[in-house]
């Protein structure tokens, strides 16, 4: 497909929604690398020139971590040796929005299957 990924000068750690024709999330974004160009794929969402959702045929690329729950986020962060002050605010935010994040993930999965 072509495309390009770039290493960022600092790690992005946030819980936020993704703008598409509908707003999806809030989901965890924890990345050192950003998708900058998707080559021949179709972009569904981007933020400040960083691609968040893209599609090529029936394959989708998703930058946010839809799979994370507060528990799995905590396990991921502690196993990576991340200091608590870097991940606990995200765990709290995801905990406060867990039902919305889950429902939004399933809505996106339904959209992916429908294409």
User: How high is the pLDDT of residue 47?
Assistant: 87
DSSP characters over 67-101: T--HHHHHHHHHHTT--HHHHHHHHHHHHHTHHHH
pTM over 0.85: yes
Residue ranges of domains in the chain: 4-114
Task: Yes or no: say if 66 and 27 are a contact pair by the CB < 8 Å rule.
Answer: yes
Task: Yes or no: say if 90 and 14 are a contact pair by the CB < 8 Å rule.
Answer: yes
Length of the chain: 115
CATH number of this structure's domain 4-114, picked from the four choices 3.40.50.1000, 1.10.357.10, 3.40.50.880, 3.10.150.10: 3.40.50.880
115 or 105: which leads in pLDDT: 105
């Amino acid at each position: 497909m072509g495309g390009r990924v770039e290493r960022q000068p600092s790690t992005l750690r946030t819980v936020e929604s993704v703008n598409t024709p509908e707003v999806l999330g809030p989901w965890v974004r924890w990345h050192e690398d950003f998708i900058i160009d998707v080559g021949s794929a179709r972009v569904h969402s981007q933020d400040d020139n960083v691609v968040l959702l893209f599609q090529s045929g029936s394959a989708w690329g998703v930058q946010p971590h839809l799979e994370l729950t507060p528990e799995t986020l905590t396990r991921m962060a502690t196993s990576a040796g991340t200091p608590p002050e870097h991940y606990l605010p995200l765990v709290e935010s995801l905990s406060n929005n867990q039902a919305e994040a889950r429902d939004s993930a399933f809505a996106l999965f339904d959209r992916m299957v429908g294409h």
